[in-house]
Amino acid sequence: MTVAGNKILIVDEQEEICALLSEYLQREGMIPIVAHSGTAALEKIRSEAPDLLIVDWKLPDMDGMQTLQAAKALDEDLPIILATGYPNIREAVSAMRAGAHDYLEKPLKHHEVLRVVFRALNERKLKCKLRTLSCQVEDTASLRESMGPSSSITRLIAEVKQVAKTNFTVLILGETGAGKDLVARAIHALSSRSQGPFMAVDCGAIPETLIEGELFGYEKGAFTGADRQKIGKFETALGGTFFLDEVSNMPLGSQAKLLRVLQDKIIHRIGGTRPIDVDVRVLAASNQDLQKLTEGEECSLRRDVYFRLNEFAIRVPALRERREDILYLAKRFVDLTNLELQKEVRSFTEAAVDLLLSYHWPGNVRQLRSTIRRAVLLADNIIDVQHLAIEGAGPAVLADSDGAPSVQIPAHPDCSLREIVQHNTALVERGVLARVLRETRGNKAEAARLLHIDYKTIQLKIKGYGLQIDRATRGGF
């Protein structure tokens, strides 16, 4: 393994021991730090943050066990190696139980010191890797929990994990309320910059006359009212991620400075002459077709800025394009609102489920969340249609010549043919599943056999469509 650059704190009262260990470590490219007492060692841990501690059992102010315990209180993950000229099995066992990584016998041998040090540093590195991977898994799980279990979200998470490891500029596209901010934060959390700041700026929320000062900062005296220097948000995000939400609202004049950041990683404060390096990763989001905004005489987005932003694009699907997530998210919002309001709303009526699945959701997940929160407030135990209070949610119905309803068109002016077909396919599939399950008295295996699908598929569809099997009668839905 590579050990060069690791800082090793050596704690021993004898200067010749410290000098000998320092020589061993320096030959391997490590950086020795020396202290001659337990108290001095604790100060070095606070100020130097060493990667490993080698401490003598006998110190003038405290023994090795006391030093070990105090050091662990400061840095629980710090590997500690005890050195002693009087090896004692009982003391060694006690030290290992207290958190020591290993121990060395004096007189110290070159090869033995390096073997123990290398092993301790290697284990520390592996633990850090495991912790990072664990955090990444948690962040991915959090994104799935917040957005849903559909195949569309599974593909989106795969794209997030793939691009997060790079330093690419990412363009996140999707309708308002679809979850672009969640995707941006997940990319940051899974990246090597996760310990740095995440700075989000809504380009549509800052007046055009102020946006350059907010993003790039200004020098004292740069304009009337600039009575002090202001550090811009790009500088505040150093070492982290900078998220430009609704980037299409940025004025054309400011886009030239943004291009400089994207190309050269430098900014100029307003009124300043000195270029300032800004080590930030840029993510951008928009609810518009940015390529169209670069075309025509009245284009509002520079083509060079668009191409720089579009190193990698992620499209967040609208909620109506992933209807299998609707009931999952609705139930999640019910649980969260129950906790907030200290209520026990349990489920939805069949009519409420049908309405949730058939509605177009122009405001996407944000609208669904607001709708469910209001419904939980109004309902006692079960949410019904009147609790949802979705304005204009009644679907238009086309009838066959005999008057029987055949096709539903969601009440939204922008529905495409593809969306209408998807919507009605889902309604038909749900109806067929409910009928077959009633006929089989809730026997999912028998229903799967009749429908020529596998058992796992029917389980997923029952869950996705919110079909409830009455365990008492095995027939009620």
Task: Return the CATH number at 50.
Answer: 3.40.50.2300
The residue to which tokens 């997923």 are assigned: 460
* C-alpha 285: how far from chain center: 16
Beta strands in 239-395 (DSSP E): 241-245, 266-267, 276-277, 281-286, 312-315, 347-348, 382-383
Q: What backbone phi and psi angles, to 5 degrees, belong to 89?
A: -60, -45
* C-alpha 428: how far from chain center: 36
Distance CA 156, CA 314 (A): 7
Q: Which of 74, 98, 127 is the last residue of a domain?
A: 127
> Do 115 and 38 share a structural domain?
yes
Pairing of strands 347-348, 217-218: unpaired
The residue to which tokens 């220097």 are assigned: 229
Distance CA 18, CA 142 (A): 48
Chunked mean pLDDT (size 10), the chain, 477 residues: 82 91 91 92 87 89 83 85 72 68 85 91 76 52 84 93 94 94 93 90 83 89 86 89 91 87 90 89 93 83 93 95 92 90 89 89 92 93 90 50 48 60 74 83 82 80 74 39
Kind plus residue range of the DSSP H or E element containing 274: none
> Do 223 and 168 share a structural domain?
yes
Residue 304 falls inside a structural domain = yes
User: How many helices and strands in the chain, by DSSP H and E?
Assistant: 19, 18
Question: What does the pLDDT read at residue 254?
Answer: 87
> Do 161 and 108 share a structural domain?
no
Question: What's this model's pTM, rounded to 2 decimal places?
Answer: 0.57
Residue 230 falls inside a structural domain = yes
Is the Cα dihedral 253, 255, 260, 263 positive or negative? negative
Residue 432's alpha-carbon distances to 137, 346, 475, in angstroms, are 37, 25, 14
The residue to which tokens 């962040």 are assigned: 139
> Do 162 and 43 share a structural domain?
no
| End-to-end Cα spacing for the chain | 61
Task: Report residue 109 as tokens.
Answer: 């041998």
Helix axis angle, 417-439 to 350-358, nearest 10° = 160
> Do 311 and 239 share a structural domain?
yes
> Do 159 and 229 share a structural domain?
yes
Question: What does the pLDDT read at residue 402?
Answer: 41
Distance CA 435, CA 440 (A): 9
Question: What does the pLDDT read at residue 415?
Answer: 59
Residue 54 falls inside a structural domain = yes
Angle at the Cα of 13 (from 10 to 17), degrees rounded to 5? 60
Residue 111 falls inside a structural domain = yes
Beta-carbon contacts of 64 under 8 Å, excluding residues fewer than 6 positions away, are 55, 56, 57, 58, 82, 84, 95
> Do 154 and 278 share a structural domain?
yes
Question: What does the pLDDT read at residue 437?
Answer: 86
Domain that holds residue 28: 7-127
> Do 212 and 63 share a structural domain?
no
> Do 279 and 166 share a structural domain?
yes
Residue 277 falls inside a structural domain = yes
Residue 335 falls inside a structural domain = no
Q: What is the CATH number of the domain that holds 261?
A: 3.40.50.300
Residue 353's alpha-carbon distances to 266, 326, 372, 384, 472, in angstroms, are 52, 9, 12, 9, 22
> Do 201 and 114 share a structural domain?
no
Question: What does the pLDDT read at residue 371?
Answer: 94
Residue 367's alpha-carbon distances to 350, 442, 450, in angstroms, are 21, 34, 38
Q: Give the count of domains, the chain.
A: 2
> Do 153 and 123 share a structural domain?
no
> Do 294 and 160 share a structural domain?
yes
Residue 445 falls inside a structural domain = no
